Homo-oligomer: A and B are copies of this chain.
Amino acid sequence: MKTVGEVGERALIAMFTDAARTGPGDVVIGSGDDAAVFVPTGPVVVSTDTAVAGRHFRFDWSSPRQIGARAVVQSAADIAAMGGVPTGVVVSIGCPPTTPVDRILELNAGIVAQTHAYGAKVLGGDLVSAAEVVLTVTSLGVLDGTAAVALSGARGGDVLAVSGPLGGPAGGLAALAAVEHGADRALLAEFSSLVDNHRLPQPDLAQGRIAALAGAHAMTDVSDGLVEELITMSAASHVRLDVESARIPQADGLDELGAALGVDPLRWTHGGGEEHELLASFSPPSVPDGWTVIGRVTAAAPGAWIDGAPVGEIRGWQSFTQA
């Protein structure tokens, strides 16, 4: 099997360019030139996210295709969290020259497939030599007539709602880690939906647009864990946020996995992260179908509260502090 170093940058970029061209398109100039050109229909939303091997993903825990697709989900979730629709991505891949070419082509295939699944285009990218695999996806999107839904718009009297169940990816990750530390591998089969949820979260990002159209006041995606997102939104909006644990929708199987591992599943729903489900604040009558109300917004001193107590112990994931 050939390595990236043997095949070379130019040949690989040409393969990426071919792969990118399999999608739908209104791109004027795409991959293969100095830059891509696209014609937006209005204000443009942009966000960038980096995932590093061994830290944000592991090749022995996920397939290259899942890893590539997940990087797109993570980046596109930030576009959805503004009420935008992803229209394009640019991708930078760093990898050691010894990396098998097939691994990088599969990674790219995951990026392309997930981008096309959103109706978006791979606009271009870069490929460089690095000590480890580093994936940076920059997503671009459009707002299509609604205002951007910022973090800062939550108001007293609003309710807080989430677009889907929480805790799945963190549960799946815990199962993988438990097996690595000696638990029976049968755990992975028993809780395969949670493990798959870690490998490739499947948030319904179309809910971002739906929330914006419904007049959401503030929105973010749950990337660092619910508690961290509550703290961030509370600080940005200068409001108090109160959540009731019992109302948080939980990924299927989380209680059973918690029992198997001797872990309180609230640790995963409160502090997990990387779900990329959306958390938004709405005026009560405007919560869209499919969203679950988990708490309320009060015009009071900023702070995040769960079950009547300020959040404390269960905190989310940060790249450095828990690395």
Q: Interface residues, chain A, CB within 8 Å of chain B?
A: 4-5, 8-10, 28-29, 32-40, 42-52, 55-56, 77-79, 81-82, 84, 88, 90-92, 94, 97, 123-132, 134, 136, 138-141, 143, 148, 150-152, 219-221, 236, 318-321, 323
Contact = CB atoms under 8 A, between A and B. Distances in A.
A46 B88 contact: yes
Q: How many copies does the complex hold?
A: 2
A134 to B, nearest CB: 5
Contacts of A43: 28, 37-40
Given A39-B43, A90-B47, A125-B48, A97 B33 contact: no
B37 A44 contact: yes
Contacts of A92: 48-50, 136
A46 B123 contact: yes
Contacts of A35: 45-47, 78-79, 81-82, 84, 139, 141
Nearest to A151: B33
A126 B71 CA distance: 13
Contacts of A49: 92, 126
Contacts of A97: 320, 323
12 contacts: A9-B320, A34-B47, A35-B46, A37-B46, A37-B143, A38-B46, A46-B88, A47-B90, A50-B94, A52-B131, A55-B129, A131-B131
Given A48-B125, A82-B29, A320-B9, A130 B220 contact: no
B47 A36 contact: yes
A224 to B, nearest CB: 9
A148 B124 CA distance: 15
Contacts of A9: 318-321
Given A46-B123, A47-B90, A50-B92, A148 B78 contact: no
Contacts of A33: 82, 150-152, 236
Contacts of A56: 128
Given A46-B88, A94-B134, A40 B37 contact: no
A128 B34 contact: no
Contacts of A219: 34
A83 to B, nearest CB: 10
A99 to B, nearest CB: 10
A52 B50 CA distance: 14
A163 to B, nearest CB: 14
Nearest to A91: B48
Nearest to A37: B148
A84 B49 CA distance: 25
A129 B319 contact: yes
